[in-house]
Structure 1
Amino acid sequence: MDSVRLSAGLTPGQQTRVHRIGLTGGIGSGKSTVARMLVGLGATLVDTDAIARSMTLAHGAAMPAIAAEFGTQMVAPDGSLDRDRMRSLVFADAQAKRRLEAILHPLIGQECERQAAAASGNAVVFDVPLLVESQRWRRIVDFVLVIDASEAHQMQRVVDRSGWSPEAVRAVIAQQASRAQRRAAADAIICNENLTFAQLEDEVRKLWRQWALPAV
């Protein structure tokens, strides 16, 4: 299987200016590495995970609503979100997950738009781990790029880099869209299972050129 797959409706050079790219992939897929490569090619990165983290720090924009909705037990002594406690809750309780998303998603969306409006250059890359799970993203990006890897590769990478147990990684994977769902939503797929760093970088550059983005 080719490392890069374009959807049938997308041809190289079809679009001379790509304004918005939605970048997604499961945990351990290498999505963050690809995001850095795209930035190196001239894209502006809007990182939804980084935005969410900033909003749940002490005095973060989401903290008053989180404390009101979930109680002060979800607030760490320094005033930030108690991430371990909240992670345990939302993994076990789908309704709690939806309540948290109802607080975070509108705030994240507003900040994403603010950063995108301030971006320079021809391309903005939205790094969105849960892009497929949230239908709104398909409507506001021009293309969806999926970084693809098997569950076995995802698990090995996360265990190696973070020391998480396989069970903890499986729990995260179970909360995300399936591999098949991500692939079905993609305009382009980079299969990042057995690529070296240099090979991955080459695939990203090829895709950048195929979408007629300005190359470095």
Structure 2
Amino acid sequence: MNIGLTGGIATGKSTVARLLVERGAALVDADRIAREIVEPGQAPLAQIADRFGPEVLQADGTLDRRRLGQIVFADAAKRKELEAITHPAIRALMRERVEALERERPDRLVVADIPLLYESGLASLYDAVLVVYVPRALQRQRLMARDGLTAEEADKRLSAQMDIEEKKRRADYVIDNSSSLDDTAKQVERFCLEMGLR
């Protein structure tokens, strides 16, 4: 079985993913793949530099994520242009890795961690969707603290994603990560038991 794991920025998807892996799940991480496809020498990086200019590259030829983020989070049309470059490559590699893991161990739960699962229209590719949830005010607070953002910068990033309440509404399963790590771990344990993981 495979599940799509999603939530919003700064809701704690990485924590929940780690807890699932500790309980035997295999993980395919869209953020990690997104970094892989923009490494020097990869076609999407060249396309990004062509589209957004050489200022999105650092002196060593790697992507300047902060600079690119400033451009695309300030302009929805530019964000869509970036997504048109990166999303097809990310989707193809995600699918390839999920299928390889399913072939390798058909009895294992495969978790595809995809922050923009709903926004990208990918939910139907998975047997179920697990949403990691925190209320938006807490999400904003955590994002500002984690990334050193101003309130305005945090709000732009939050507005670029589907509202967390809508994601929660659409979910097959929800982990509420607004309390303690211990509470989150207990919810993950219950989910794993329901999924047949020991």
If the length of structure 1 is used for normalisation, what is the TM-score? Answer: 0.83
2:87 corresponds to? 105
Whichever residue aligns with residue 126 of structure 2, its letter is V
1:149 corresponds to? 134
- Contact 1:132/1:181 (<8 A) preserved: no
2:168 corresponds to? 183
Within 2, Cα distance between the matches of 1:160 and 1:75?
26
Cα offset for 1:99? 1.1
Residue 207 (structure 1) aligned to one of 148, 172, 191? 191
Partner deviation per Cα, 1:65-104 (whole Å, 9 max, x = no partner): 2222233232222112221221111112222111111110
Cα offset for 1:53? 1.2
Whichever residue aligns with residue 29 of structure 2, its letter is D
Within 1, Cα distance between the matches of 2:166 and 2:68?
26
If the length of structure 2 is used for normalisation, what is the TM-score? Answer: 0.90
> 1:146 aligns to what SS in structure 2?
strand
> 1:29 aligns to what SS in structure 2?
coil
Aligned pairs (5 A) from 1:59-208: 59-119=41-101, 120-121=104-105, 122-135=108-121, 137-194=122-179, 196-208=180-192
Whichever residue aligns with residue 197 of structure 1, its letter is L
Partner deviation per Cα, 1:118-152 (whole Å, 9 max, x = no partner): 324321111111111111x1121011101111112
Unpaired segments of 5 or more residues in structure 1?
1-18
1:53 corresponds to? 35
Give the 3 Å change call, closer, same or farther, for CA 161–36 of structure 1 in structure 2.
same
Identity score, percent: 38
Unpaired segments of 5 or more residues in structure 2?
none
